[in-house]
Amino acid sequence: MATDAEKSPEAAPDEPNTFVEGVENVGRGVINSISSFGGMATLAWEILRWSVRPPYRLQNLFAQLDFVGVGSIFIVCLTGTFTGMVFAQQSSRAFELFGAESLVGPTVALTITRELAPVFTALMVTMRAGSAMCTELGTMRVTEQVDALETMAVSPVQYLLVPRVLAGLIMVPMLTMLFDTSGMVGGFFVSVTLKGMSAGTWLARTQTWLDPEDIFEGLIKAAVFGFAVSLISCYRGFNASGGAKGVGKATTEAMVGSALAIFILDYFVGVILH
């Protein structure tokens, strides 16, 4: 997105208008994001309306829950464990300087539950499931399968988008809990087995410092991220045009947009919750 504003080197020499063009590009980018934001808001509203209307296609929903959720268990556990391990490793080195190693457990637990778990889980789901949603819907759009659904008097929003966005909304928090757990197991393992801390102290300190609200805050974030990334991926795929190339472009936009949305929303949800 930002690369739009960068000028290609060969255009530079005798072009007096690069500045104007740069401004134009930025302007176009801004207009694009505003109009797609409007489109997404409208689509979100449509999805909401269709999700409460019969028929409820539970089979489609379960297929997506399985794909988004169950399919991501392995990579979420893996990233969770290693994040916990790295975090314990780094923070214990820092805390050793002050002789405050007993704070490693709470530090790991708080950072993971409140920040890292929802953000990393949402990023993993974006890469694994969001990209697949976007390319699948995009392909269906450019090969007229979406039109075919419409001619058969079936709402594509209800049939295709509702289960995907609901799956994102439900499964990202679930996976975040898994990330929480595996992250703490990883942190515990490094602290106790490799750094020789006392298991009892680690657990006791963590228990004292970690409130249910911290976990809950992480889960709220996760739900917001899950909704946002599946909405963005669906929106981009659903509005793809221009054959295979268009689907590729839509997927790139979906990935960049979802990643940006996660970091931006992370800040704002954090502010709102406090």
Partner 1 sequence: MPPIIQIQDLHKSFGDNAVLKGINLDIEEGTTLVVLGGSGSGKTVLMKHMIGLLKPDRGRVLVEGQDIVPLDGEELARVRKKFGMVFQAAALFDSMTVYENVAFPLREHAKLKESEIREKVKEKLAIVGLRNVESKYPADLSGGMRKRVGLARAIILDPKIVLYDEPTTGLDPITTDYVDEMILDAKRELGVTSVVISHDIASAFKVADRIAFLSQGHIVEQGPPEQLRRSEEPAVKAFLSTWFGKQ
x/- mask, partner 1, residues 78-117, rule CB under 8 A, reads ----------------------------------------
Shortest Cβ 64–partner 1 spacing (Å): 12
- The amino acid sitting at 229 is V
Q: Which is nearer to partner 1, 150 or 213 (CB)?
A: 150
66 makes contact with partner 1 (CB under 8 A)? no
Shortest Cβ 38–partner 1 spacing (Å): 18
Q: Which is nearer to partner 1, 46 or 266 (CB)?
A: 46
Shortest Cβ 152–partner 1 spacing (Å): 5
Give the SS3 label for residue 64.
Answer: helix
How many CB atoms within 10 Å of residue 30? 10
Rounded CA separation 177/171 (Å): 10
Q: What is the CA radius of gyration of the chain?
A: 22
Q: Which is nearer to partner 1, 211 or 242 (CB)?
A: 242
Q: What is the DSSP letter of 8?
A: P
Q: Which is nearer to partner 1, 3 or 151 (CB)?
A: 151
Size of the site for partner 1 (CB under 8 A): 14
Q: Which is nearer to partner 1, 107 or 139 (CB)?
A: 139
Give the SS3 label for residue 93.
Answer: helix
Letter string b/e over residues 162-201, b meaning 16 or more CB atoms within 10 A of that residue's CB:
bbbbbbbbbbbbbbbbbbbbbbbebbbebbbeebebeeee
Number of residues written out for the chain: 274
Q: Which is nearer to partner 1, 12 or 152 (CB)?
A: 152
Q: Hey, which residues between 178 and 237 contact partner 1 (CB under 8 A)?
A: none
Q: Hey, which residues between 111 and 170 contact partner 1 (CB under 8 A)?
A: 136, 139-140, 143-145, 147-148, 150-155
Shortest Cβ 73–partner 1 spacing (Å): 23
Give the SS3 label for residue 7.
Answer: coil
243 dihedral zone (left: phi>0; alpha: psi -120 to 50; beta): left
Q: Which is nearer to partner 1, 143 or 207 (CB)?
A: 143
How many CB atoms within 10 Å of residue 60? 17
Shortest Cβ 139–partner 1 spacing (Å): 8
Rounded CA separation 185/175 (Å): 15
Shortest Cβ 217–partner 1 spacing (Å): 37
| Contacts with partner 1, residue ranges (CB under 8 A) | 136, 139-140, 143-145, 147-148, 150-155
